[in-house]
Every structure is written in C-alpha cells, then in structure tokens.
Chains A and B, each alone.
Chain A
Amino acid sequence: QSALTQPPSASGSPGQSVTISCTGTSSDVGVYNHVSWYQQHPGKAPKLMIYEVSKRPSGVPDRFSGSKSGNTVSLTVSGLQAEDEADYYCCSYVGTTPYVFGTGTTVTVL
C-alpha cells in the first residue's frame, strides 16, 4: 500500500485560506470515508484535526474543514493564523493494511 499523495508545501497570508489535497486510489480514499487529518508542529506529536472526512473533534476550531471528491480528500484552513504553520498529514483506513498516511504538507503562513 503506497502512501497517499500530498503537495510538499502550501502557503497563505494571515486571514487567507489554504487548501491541502490528499490523493489516493479507488482502493482507499475512494472507497472509505475513514479519512483523518493531523497537524504536527516541530518536535511535537501529531494532533487530530479532522476525522471521517469532515468531522471535527471537540476543541478544534471551525476554521478547519474537510471534504472529499472521488479519490481525493482536502483540508481547508480558513482565516489563517500564525499558529497554523505546521506539517499536515492525511490518513486513510484501507481495510487490510489497515492504515496509510499521506506524504505530508508543510503549511507556511507568510
């Protein structure tokens, strides 16, 4: 099972929006809605931001939203803030494997 494909980097100015894509195949993202997103600051553990494509855990700001179209899921961060600068990883349940992560995207707040 190969890693899901994410762009290496994305950026935006404070207050703007940035969208990160995560592309899989019809065997993982395309067939399951069990996709999650994680934020990771340097030297820290990942933090769950989105699960089941678009659900937010308690405490995650509603500036973070998720969506899915075909074999691609996306994370949108609206109203960018300095503290949103971090690495972001998608993760999909794929049944037998059973989990595969994305390659990761570094978000820079300009």
Chain B
Amino acid sequence: QVQLVQSGADVKKPGASVKVSCTASGYTFTGYYMHWVRQTPGQGLEWMAWINPNGGGTKYAQKFQGRITVTRDTSITTAYMELSGLRSDDTAVYFCAREGDSGGTDWYAFDIWGQGTMLTVSS
C-alpha cells in the first residue's frame, strides 16, 4: 500500500542540526511532490517546504530560508529535511506529506502523510 515512513524521534541541543528522513513505498516516488509540514505542541500546522523528487527542485517557506534544506535520494525513494540552528521553538512534530495528483492534475493538497517525527530541542 502507499505509505510514507519517517525516521524516529530525536532530541537535539540548541544550535544543532537535525535531518529527518521520509521513505516512500507503494507508488512512483518521482511522480509526486513531497512536502514537509510541522506541528508545534498544542498548536496548528505550518507548511515548511516542498521538493520535486523528479529533478530535485525545491521551495522553502520564507520563515525557514537559510536554515532548511530538503533533498531526496531516488535510489532509495527517500526524502530528507534538514533544519539547522535549532532553537527551543523548533520543538515540534515534523511530517512529510505527498501532494495528491490524479491523471496529471495537481490536487494542491496532501493526500498521504508520514507518521510524524517528534523533535525535541532542549539544553
């Protein structure tokens, strides 16, 4: 079945970097954009970035420009999100999510989500 499996929870100190992975299965990895969305404790959802696995093109939210890098490895159908200069307010659950598409028509919506990766930033 179509699924996204993310790496496990992590704890980092302020100023460090984290790299979260998202492994896709059950569909053609290069056929769908992959997005990263985070959810801070008790708060709502926040869009962070997307990557086009077919070519590697990326787009980042202005808020994270300079701190975020999204990459992919098509040989293992995995996308990565690296966030640097971590602060306590980066403590959140990070999700990868596939952008839906049907017959080449973009849904502009996220139809498959990973299980989430809890990141705790604490000294």
CB distance from A2 to the nearest CB of B (A): 12
Number of residues on chain B facing chain A (CB within 8 A) = 22
B11, CB-defined interface residue at 8 Å: no
- A101:B110 contact, CB within 8 angstroms: no
A72-103 residues with Cβ-Cβ distance < 8 A to B are: 89, 91, 93, 97-103
- A51:B44 contact, CB within 8 angstroms: no
B53, CB-defined interface residue at 8 Å: no
CB distance from A97 to the nearest CB of B (A): 7
Cα distance, A4 to B108, chains bound together (Å) = 16
- A100:B47 contact, CB within 8 angstroms: yes
Cα distance, A83 to B10, chains bound together (Å) = 31
Cα distance, A99 to B61, chains bound together (Å) = 9
Residues on the B chain within 8 Å of A103, using CB: 44
- A36:B44 contact, CB within 8 angstroms: no
B109, CB-defined interface residue at 8 Å: yes
- B114:A34 contact, CB within 8 angstroms: no
**CB 8 Å contact bits of B90-123 with A (1 = contact, 0 = none):** 0000010100100000011111011110000000
B39-97 residues with Cβ-Cβ distance < 8 A to A are: 44-47, 50, 59, 61-62, 95, 97
Q: A45-B116, A47-B113 are in contact. Are A101 and B44 (CB under 8 A)?
A: yes
- Interface residues in chain B, defined as those with a beta carbon under 8 Å from any beta carbon in chain A: 35, 37, 44-47, 50, 59, 61-62, 95, 97, 100, 107-111, 113-116
Q: Which 7 A-B pairs have the closest CB atoms?
A: A34-B108, A36-B109, A51-B109, A45-B113, A99-B47, A101-B45, A93-B108
